[in-house]
Chains A and B, each alone.
Chain A
Amino acid sequence: MLSRTAESLFWLARYMERAENVARMVTVGRRVASVAQSLGASGDEWLSTLIATGCDRGFFHKYSEPASDAVLDYLVRDPDNPSSVLSCFETARRNARAVRTALTVDMWNALNETWLTTREFAAQLSDPDKVPTFLDWVKERSQLFSGAYGSTMLRNDAFYFTRLGTFLERADNTARILDVKYYVLLPQDEGVGGALDYFQWQSILRSVSALRSYHWVYHDRLQPWLIAELLILRPEMPRSLLSCFDQIARHLDLLAEAYGGKRGECHRLAGETYAQLRYGRIQKIFQSGLHEFLADFIDRSALLGAEVGKLYLN
Chain B
Amino acid sequence: MPAVYADAFDETGLPGPCLPHYALIRRWLDETPRDFLLHKRREAELLFRRAGITFSVYSEGSDPERLIPFDIVPRILCAEEWARLVRGLVQRVKALNAFVADVYHEREILAAGKLPAELVLLNDGFCAEMQDLDVAASAYVHVAGIDLVRVGPNDFYVLEDNCRTPSGVSYMLENREAMMRLFPNLCAKHRIAPVSHYPEELHGTLQAVAPPGCTGEPVIVLLTPGAGNSAYYEHSFLADEMGVELVEGADLVVDDNLVFMRTTEGLRRVDVIYRRIDDPYLDPLTFRPDSLLGTPGLFNAYRAGNVTLANAPGAGIADDKAIYPYVPEMIRFYLGEEPILANVPTYRCGDPRHLAYVLDHLSELVVKEARGSGGYGMLVGPHAAAAERACFRAKLVARPENYIAQPTLALSTCPTFVENGIAPRHVDLRPFVLSGREVRIVPGGLTRVALKSGSLVVNSSQGGGTKDTWVLERLPET
Interface residues of A (CB under 8 A from B): 1-6, 94, 97-101, 108-109, 112-113, 116, 157, 161, 255, 259-260, 312-313
B49, A116: Cβ atoms under 8 Å?
yes
B50, A2: Cβ atoms under 8 Å?
no
B251, A259: Cβ atoms under 8 Å?
no
Known: A97-B232, A101-B236. A1 touches B52 (CB 8 A): no
A2, B227: Cβ atoms under 8 Å?
no
Known: A2-B245, A4-B248, A101-B236. A112 touches B264 (CB 8 A): no
Residue of A nearest to B65 (CB): A97
Q: Would you give 8 A-B contacts (Cβ < 8 Å), ordered by A?
A: A1-B245, A2-B262, A3-B262, A3-B264, A94-B227, A98-B226, A100-B52, A259-B264
Indicate if B315 sits at the interface (CB-CB under 8 A).
no
- Bin the interface of chain B by size: 20 to 34
Q: Min CB distance, A181 to chain B, in Å?
A: 39
A2, B251: Cβ atoms under 8 Å?
yes
Q: Is chain B's interface secondary structure helix, strand, loop, or mixed overall?
A: mixed
Bound-state Cα–Cα, A255 to B264, Å = 10
Known: A2-B245, A2-B251, A98-B226. A313 touches B239 (CB 8 A): no
Known: A3-B263, A101-B236. A109 touches B50 (CB 8 A): yes
Residues of A within 8 A of B429 (CB): none
Indicate if B240 sits at the interface (CB-CB under 8 A).
yes
A100, B240: Cβ atoms under 8 Å?
yes
Bound-state Cα–Cα, A99 to B240, Å = 10
Indicate if B265 sits at the interface (CB-CB under 8 A).
yes
Bound-state Cα–Cα, A116 to B50, Å = 9
Residue of A nearest to B252 (CB): A2
Residues of B within 8 A of A1 (CB): 245, 263-264
Bound-state Cα–Cα, A255 to B263, Å = 13
B52, A2: Cβ atoms under 8 Å?
no
Instruction: Give B227-281 interface residues, CB cut-off 8 Å to A.
Output: 227, 232, 236-237, 239-240, 245-248, 250-251, 261-265
Q: Min CB distance, A224 to chain B, in Å?
A: 42
Bound-state Cα–Cα, A2 to B50, Å = 26
A97, B264: Cβ atoms under 8 Å?
no
A97, B52: Cβ atoms under 8 Å?
yes
Bound-state Cα–Cα, A161 to B264, Å = 10
Known: A2-B261, A2-B262, A4-B262. A101 touches B50 (CB 8 A): no
Residues of A within 8 A of B239 (CB): 101
Residue of B nearest to A113 (CB): B50
Residues of B within 8 A of A98 (CB): 226-227
Interface residues of B (CB under 8 A from A): 49-52, 226-227, 232, 236-237, 239-240, 245-248, 250-251, 261-265
Q: Min CB distance, B35 to chain A, in Å?
A: 25
Q: Min CB distance, B213 to chain A, in Å?
A: 24
Q: Min CB distance, A142 to chain B, in Å?
A: 19
Residues of A within 8 A of B240 (CB): 100-101
B52, A112: Cβ atoms under 8 Å?
yes
Residues of B within 8 A of A5 (CB): 245
Q: Min CB distance, B250 to chain A, in Å?
A: 8
A97, B263: Cβ atoms under 8 Å?
no
Q: Min CB distance, A263 to chain B, in Å?
A: 13
Q: Min CB distance, A163 to chain B, in Å?
A: 14
Q: Min CB distance, B132 to chain A, in Å?
A: 34
| B263: contacting residue among A2, A94, A101, A113, CB under 8 A | A2
Residues of A within 8 A of B227 (CB): 94, 97-98
Bound-state Cα–Cα, A97 to B250, Å = 17
Residues of B within 8 A of A2 (CB): 245, 247, 251, 261-264
Bound-state Cα–Cα, A113 to B50, Å = 7
Bound-state Cα–Cα, A116 to B48, Å = 13
Residue of B nearest to A93 (CB): B52
Residues of B within 8 A of A255 (CB): 264
Bound-state Cα–Cα, A189 to B199, Å = 72
B264, A313: Cβ atoms under 8 Å?
yes
Q: Min CB distance, A244 to chain B, in Å?
A: 22
Bound-state Cα–Cα, A21 to B239, Å = 34
Residues of A within 8 A of B50 (CB): 109, 112-113, 116
Bound-state Cα–Cα, A161 to B265, Å = 13
| A108: contacting residue among B52, B250, B251, B265, CB under 8 A | B52
Residues of B within 8 A of A3 (CB): 251, 262-264
B264, A6: Cβ atoms under 8 Å?
yes
Q: Min CB distance, B464 to chain A, in Å?
A: 24
Q: Min CB distance, A231 to chain B, in Å?
A: 32
Residue of A nearest to B224 (CB): A98
Bound-state Cα–Cα, A99 to B236, Å = 8
Q: Min CB distance, A111 to chain B, in Å?
A: 9
Q: Min CB distance, A139 to chain B, in Å?
A: 22
List the 10 shortest-distance A-B pairs measured between CB atoms, nearest first: A100-B236, A101-B240, A312-B264, A3-B262, A101-B239, A101-B246, A6-B264, A97-B227, A98-B227, A259-B265
> Looking at B240, B245, B261, B263, which has the most chain A CB atoms within 10 Å of its CB?
B263
| Contacts A101-B246, A112-B52 supplied; 20 other A-B pairs, CB < 8 Å | A1-B264, A3-B262, A3-B263, A3-B264, A4-B248, A4-B262, A6-B264, A98-B226, A100-B237, A100-B240, A101-B236, A101-B239, A101-B240, A108-B52, A112-B51, A116-B50, A157-B264, A259-B264, A260-B265, A312-B264
Residues of B within 8 A of A101 (CB): 236, 239-240, 245-246
Bound-state Cα–Cα, A1 to B232, Å = 20
Residues of A within 8 A of B264 (CB): 1-3, 6, 157, 161, 255, 259, 312-313
Residue of A nearest to B241 (CB): A101
Q: Min CB distance, A9 to chain B, in Å?
A: 10
Residues of B within 8 A of A4 (CB): 248, 250-251, 262
Bound-state Cα–Cα, A255 to B232, Å = 30
> Looking at A3, A259, A312, which has the most chain B CB atoms within 10 Å of its CB?
A3
Bound-state Cα–Cα, A108 to B51, Å = 8
Residue of B nearest to A259 (CB): B265
Residue of A nearest to B243 (CB): A101
Bound-state Cα–Cα, A260 to B262, Å = 17
Bound-state Cα–Cα, A97 to B52, Å = 9
Q: Min CB distance, B219 to chain A, in Å?
A: 12
